[in-house]
Chains A and B, each alone.
Chain A
Amino acid sequence: MFARGKSSRGEKPNATRKMKSDKNKKVENCNLCGFCNLSCPTYKVLMKESAGPRFKAFLARKKDYKEVFFLCTECGACIQECPADVELECLKIREELVKNGFETPANKVMQENIKLYGNPFGEIKKGKKIKQYYT
Chain B
Amino acid sequence: MKKKISNLVGSGKASDNSVDLEAYSYCSSETELKPGLVVWPQNIEQIRRIMLYANQSHAPIIIRGSGTSLVGGCVGGNNTVLSSEQMNKITKLDLKNKVIEVEAGIRIKDLNNALSEFKLLFPLVPFNPVKTIGGMIALNAVTKESQQLGRISEWVEEAEFVDGTGKYYTTKKKDVVIGKEGLTGFITRARLRLIEPPALSIDIFTFSELSQLLKQVRLLQKDVEVYFLEFFDKSIAKEMGFEQRYLLITSYTSLKGKNKTVLEVRKILEKLDSVHPLLRSKGYYHLQDPAVSIEKTYDLIDWCEKKKVGLHGHIGLGLFYAYFSREDKDLIKTFKSFIRRINGSFGGVFGIGSANKDFVNPVKKKEFIKLKDEYDYNNILNPGKIINYR
Q: Is A100 an interface residue (CB 8 A)?
A: no
Pairwise interchain contact A67-B19, C-beta atoms closer than 8 A: yes
Residues on B with C-beta less than 8 A from A29 are 281-282
Q: Is B149 an interface residue (CB 8 A)?
A: no
Q: Is A119 an interface residue (CB 8 A)?
A: no
Chain A residues at the B interface, C-beta cutoff of 8 Å: 16-21, 24, 29-35, 37-38, 47-50, 54-55, 58-59, 66-68, 82-86
Partner of B110, one of A24, A30, A34, A38: A38
A-B contacts, CB under 8 A, total: 97
- CB closest residue in chain B, given A58: B26
In angstroms, Cα B15 to Cα A14, docked, is 40
Residues on B with C-beta less than 8 A from A31 are 28, 30, 277, 280-281, 285
Pairwise interchain contact A84-B19, C-beta atoms closer than 8 A: no
Given contacts A19-B239, A67-B19, 12 further A-B contacts (CB under 8 A): A17-B270, A18-B271, A24-B282, A32-B67, A34-B66, A37-B130, A38-B107, A38-B130, A49-B83, A55-B22, A58-B26, A84-B278
Report the contact-size class of chain B (Cβ under 8 Å from the partner): 35 or more
Q: Determine how close the nearest CB of chain A comes to the CB of B276; give it in whole angstroms.
A: 8
In angstroms, Cα B130 to Cα A82, docked, is 12
In angstroms, Cα B21 to Cα A68, docked, is 13
Q: Determine how close the nearest CB of chain B comes to the CB of A124; give it in whole angstroms.
A: 31
- From A24, A30, A31, residue with most partner B Cβ within 10 Å: A31
Pairwise interchain contact A84-B24, C-beta atoms closer than 8 A: no
Q: Determine how close the nearest CB of chain B comes to the CB of A2; give it in whole angstroms.
A: 19
9 A-B pairs within 8 Å (CB atoms) are namely: A20-B278, A29-B281, A32-B26, A32-B67, A49-B20, A50-B24, A55-B22, A82-B277, A84-B278
Pairwise interchain contact A50-B19, C-beta atoms closer than 8 A: yes
